[in-house]
Structure formats: structure tokens, C-alpha cells
Amino acid sequence: MFFLPSFQAEEPALDKDASLPNIMAPTLFDQKPEPGDLIEISRGNYQHWAIYVGNGYVIHLCPPSEDFEPGGSSLMSALCDKAVVKEEEFWKVVNDDKYTINNLLDDKYEPRNIRTILAEARRMVGRELPYCFIRHNCEHFVTELRYGKAESRQVRQAAQTAVAAGAVLLGVGVLAAVATSFFGSKKKERKDEY
């Protein structure tokens, strides 16, 4: 977990993003994020996450692969152990990738007060944090900001996929062993008959 500091912060003024349509191009569903919304960005074989903070900007945990070029090698992310929290323009982070507003845990947890979310997100900008694609990734970072709970659905899904693949491979191995044992013993019996 990132253990965001908890103290009474000066409450920033909420920005209503009246100028948002001029800053952000429309999407397929004409989604307009509100401050505090989680933004899920599809990078092909993984998802990058950011939190919208208003006026066309997001804050995100930026591992080296995201630093060089949005959508860079996810392998590089897997190998690094540090990342920097950055505030950047929405479209610089999204680039040409597909994105969605995805407040994925709203049905599980009550989102924290928007002023708290924004104050803590802005306080983290520029900080270098531990990074681990399994325990401390960009999704953990934004869910901790929004809900006070660091969770990553993509890590959980990857683990479930790995377990399922392992079970399939184990099943195939067992079937192969049974088939070899069964058919191998028939050949031996025939050889003994002659």
C-alpha cells in the first residue's frame, strides 16, 4: 500500500470544468470526466490508470515505461521498482489509446470526499514511490486515492488467468500420463504375447 498521509488538509476549491468541452475532444461515448474520476487507458496488453483532477489534467503514477512514451514496454514496468507521481495533460497521457471513465469500485466502497481526493493527489505530485506491477502499480495508486483502498483488478485477473492456465496444463499432463500408461501397457502386453 502507499499509505497516503491522513491529516486535515486545506480544502482546495472544486473546479466544475466548465471549459472541459474546449479542452478535451469528444470520445465515442462523449464521456466527460469529473474531478476524482478514475481513467482507465488501454495500452494493448495492460491498462494504465490516472485520476482526473480537473481543467484537462490527470495525476498518475508514472513508471519508466510510461515516462518514455505512453504505451511503452510493459516489460520495463515489470522490471522497475520506482515510479514518479505526475500531473499531466489528459491527452498527453491518453495519447491515441482508448480510454474510459471507470470508477470500478464505487459499488464496493464509498468514494472519499472529493476535496480530500484532490488534495492528496496534488500533494503526491513529484514524489517518487515504490513500484511493483503486482503490489504497487498505477491502478493501486488511483484506487487508494479515490477509495482509501489500494486494489488492482488487472492483477487479480492476471492471477486468475494464470491459475486457470496452470489447471488446464495440469489436466492435459494428467490425461497424457493416463493415456501413455494405458496405451503403453497394451503395446507391452502384445510384445509379451509373441
How many angstroms from the chain centroid is the CA of residue 110? 19
User: Given 62, 136, 138, 140, which residue is catalytic?
Assistant: 138
Which candidate in 60, 62, 136, 140 is catalytic? 60
Which one-letter amino acid corresponds to residue 102?
N
Ordered by start, the domain boundaries in the chain are 20-151, 152-194
pLDDT digits (tens, 9 = 90+) for 79-104: 678 999 999 999 999 999 999 999 99
CA pair distance 34, 103, nearest whole angstrom? 11
Q: Average pLDDT over the chain, rounded to whole?
A: 75
- 48, 62, 136, 140: the active-site residue: 48
**3-state DSSP call for residue 3?**
coil
Indicate the fold that domain 20-151 takes in CATH.
endopeptidase fold (from Nostoc punctiforme) (3.90.1720)
Query: Is 48 an active-site residue?
Result: yes
Is 140 a residue of the active site?
no
pLDDT digits (tens, 9 = 90+) for 18-37: 445 445 555 555 679 999 99
SS3 186: helix
Q: How far is CA 115 from the centre of its chain?
A: 23
Helices (H) and strands (E) in the chain, counts: 7, 6
Q: Which residues of 124-150 are buried (b: 16+ CB within 10 A; e: fewer)?
A: beeeeeebbbeebbbbbbbbbbbbbeb
